[in-house]
Amino acid sequence: MYNFDFVKPLNVADALVALASEEAQALGGGQTLIPTMKQRLASPEKLVSLSGISEMQGVDISGNIVTIGGATTHANVALAGAFEGLTGLAGGIGDPAVRNRGTIGGSLANNDPAACYPAAALATGATIVTNDREIDADDYFQGMFTTALEDVEIITAVRMPIPQVSNYQKFEQPASRFALVGVFVAKYADGVRVAVTGASENGVFRWSEAEGVLSTNFSADAILGMSVDSSEMISDLHGTKEYRANLVRVLTGRAVSSAS
Partner 1 sequence: MQNISMTINGKPVSGDVEGRTLLVEFLRNDLHLTGTHVGCDTSQCGACAIHVNGIIVKSCTMFAADADGALVDTIEGQANADGSLNKIQQAFQDHHGLQCGFCTPGMVMAAADLLKNNPTPTEAEVRHHLDGNICRCTGYHNIIKAIMAASGQDVSAIAAE
Minimum CB–partner distance for residue 147 and partner 1 (Å): 23
- Which segments of 11-91 are extended strands (E)? 24-27, 46-49, 59-62, 65-69
Which residue, 71 or 137, is less far from ligand FAD as judged by CB?
A: 71
Examine residue 6 and tell whether it contacts partner 1 (CB under 8 A).
yes
Examine residue 85 and tell whether it contacts ligand FAD (CB under 6 A).
no
Q: Contact 227/52 with Cβ under 8 angstroms?
A: no
Q: Is 156 exposed, middle or buried (0-12, 13-18, 19+ CB in 10 A)?
A: buried
List 5, 60, 134, 242, residue binding partner 1 (CB under 8 A): 5
5 binds, among ligand FAD, partner 1, none (CB under 5 to 8 A by kind): partner 1
Mask 171-190, x = binds ligand FAD (CB under 6 A)? ------xx------------
Q: Compute the chain's Rg from CA coordinates.
A: 18
SS3 labels along 86-127: HHHHHHCCCCHHHHHHCEHHHHHHHCCCCCCHHHHHHHCCCE
List 115, 181, 251, 256, residue binding ligand FAD (CB under 6 A): 115
Minimum CB–partner distance for residue 149 and partner 1 (Å): 22
Which residues are CB-contacts of 175 (< 8 A; sequence separation ≥ 6)?
none
**Helices 208-216/241-258 angle, 10° precision:** 30
3 binds, among partner 1, ligand FAD, none (CB under 5 to 8 A by kind): partner 1
Examine residue 203 and tell whether it contacts ligand FAD (CB under 6 A).
no
Q: Which residues bind partner 1 (CB under 8 A)?
A: 1-6, 8, 27, 30-31, 34-35, 37-38, 47, 49, 51, 75, 94-98, 100-101, 177
